[in-house]
Structure formats: C-alpha cells, structure tokens
Amino acid sequence: MKPFEKFLNDSLGTKELLEVYLVLRKHFQEIGFSEEDLEKPPMYTNEMFMLQKKFQSTINALLNQVNAYGFDVGREEFSEYLNPLLQKINELTPLSDVNYQGGNQGDEDFE
C-alpha cells in the first residue's frame, strides 16, 4: 500500500466522499436508472445535480488535501485508488437492467 493510500484510508474526507457516492447511487436506483443511463441520462433531477456537485467538490478537496500533506498524487493515480472503492458501492447498489422508461414505473399491473 502506498503512503498516500494509507492516509486516504484513514481520512474522514474519503468516508464523506463514499457516503455522497452511495447516496447518489441510491438516488439512481430510486428513479430506475440503468448503468447505461448513466452514460447519457434521460433526465436530470435537482438531487442529481446537488449530489454530483458535492461529489466533485469532495474529490477536489480530498485530492488537494493529499497533496497539501506532501504526497504529490496526480488525478490519475488518485482515480486508480478510488475506482475499486466506488466499484464496491456499485456492486452493493445495482441499478436497473433496463433503461429508464419515464414515469410509467409500477404501472405494468394496470395495463
């Protein structure tokens, strides 16, 4: 394990980042998004914008913090550290197998 990774493992900033990402994934589940929908979302919600902004600002703050402590970590190396953690959250919060179908979710029984 690299020294900056040990630092991040113990950082409250990392915990906050993962919590924001988990809330974002749960929101995607609630609105019925698939993984494919994430590439080109069929709709946007205010919560999506808010959470994505918070996620991005938390990433930037955490990367700045790591570098402020003298670790000299680039964005790519930082992403390599984060990707397995985010992937674990993806596995714990699977999205729909089908693309977003609009507002007709749950109406199948009434057709």
pLDDT in tens, 14-67: 999 999 999 999 999 999 999 999 999 999 999 999 999 999 999 999 999 999
Please give the Cα distance from 91 to 85 (Å, whole number): 10
User: What predicted TM-score, i.e. pTM, was given to this entire model?
Assistant: 0.86
Interacting residues of 95 by C-beta distance below 8 A, sequence separation 6+ = 25, 28, 29, 33, 34, 35, 37, 38
